[in-house]
Amino acid sequence: MPTPASAGDEHGVEPMLATLTREPFSRPGWLFERKLDGVRALAVRDGGRTRLFSRTHKPMGASYPEIVDALEVVADGDFATDGEIVAFDGDQTSFAMLQKRIHQTNPVLIRSSGVAVFYYVFDMLSWDGHDMRRLPLRDRKTILREAIDFADPLRYSAHRDDDGAQMYADACARGWEGVIAKRADSAYRGGRSPDWLKFKCVRDQDVVIGGFTDPGGSRSALGALLVGYHDDSGLRYAGKVGTGFDEATLRRLRDLLGPLEQPASPFVDQVREKGAHWVAAQVVAQVGFAEWTTAGRLRHPTYRGLRDDRSATDVVREAPAGGS
């Protein structure tokens, strides 16, 4: 098994992912953490060199140099951590606010963006040459808290030991994303796991952009995004997203999607949209929505931003697990 120090290579560590569940709960032997509205990030310091990677192993350090700088001096020895990079809009973590930093690597433009970012660390994968992924989560978090000298922009992801249902109610009342429940004795295993569960206060879904429509009225660049998700039959059409954009975002999307145009639809469904332009199914976005229709379409979807930390081929319809 590769060591956490190799995270970010093509054979690096696969992040552990939470499974959506139907009902929040309070249960002995579980920890409960705030669900953050940001991007996942693995941090690795190996031989004095510090790097940041997305969950798909893309380098992220150029976009968040202040986090890399902070990680250089927080502890003695090498380590690998897992966490979430966030930006705030008032008291709320905001994926939309983070969009101003996600694709930016120019130091001058990063400083002029005015968007401060923070790295909330919730797991320690290795420490001083020791692979810690087989240790219980509670032990890993204890070592994490003791090993890292936390100060902004680095923050420890605190947890509660009980009353997850009440924490979920409080989270929704405060306008948070939700709560992550984790088995306190669980090892760190890559991929989607029933040992980590998420209770969402808001409904969102990652989608693959398969096309766009011509603009109408006073709108420029494009009208709506045509989006979908993968299942066993291919890329299924999930509807069009026509809200949540400002003019600058519409122009950026058109510039991004223009070179990807192709003559054929990437969807396995027949899509009847006037003025449709088809694109290679490579770009992932996040949308908020009200509910799924019986036909498998998103009802009232709203654009939230692009995700460069997910592979388009991994995007499926997120459905809650039963029995939790």
Write out the catalytic residue numbers. Answer: 35
Tokens of residue 61, six digits: 């350090």
Closest CA to 309 of 284, 287, 272, 277: 284
Identify the three-state secondary structure at position 18: strand
Measured CA to CA, the distance from residue 230 to residue 15 in angstroms comes to 20
Tokens of residue 34, six digits: 């705030």
Contact in structure between 124 and 141 (CB atoms under 8 Å): yes
Q: What angle do CA 29, 205, 314 make, to 5 degrees?
A: 85
Closest CA to 19 of 180, 133, 176: 180
Contact in structure between 250 and 214 (CB atoms under 8 Å): no
Tokens of residue 66, six digits: 């202040």
Strands (E), 158-233: 159-160, 178-183, 191-200, 204-213, 225-231
3-state helix, strand, coil in the chain (%, to 5): 20, 40, 40
Identify the three-state secondary structure at position 254: helix
Number of H helices, E strands in the chain: 6, 20
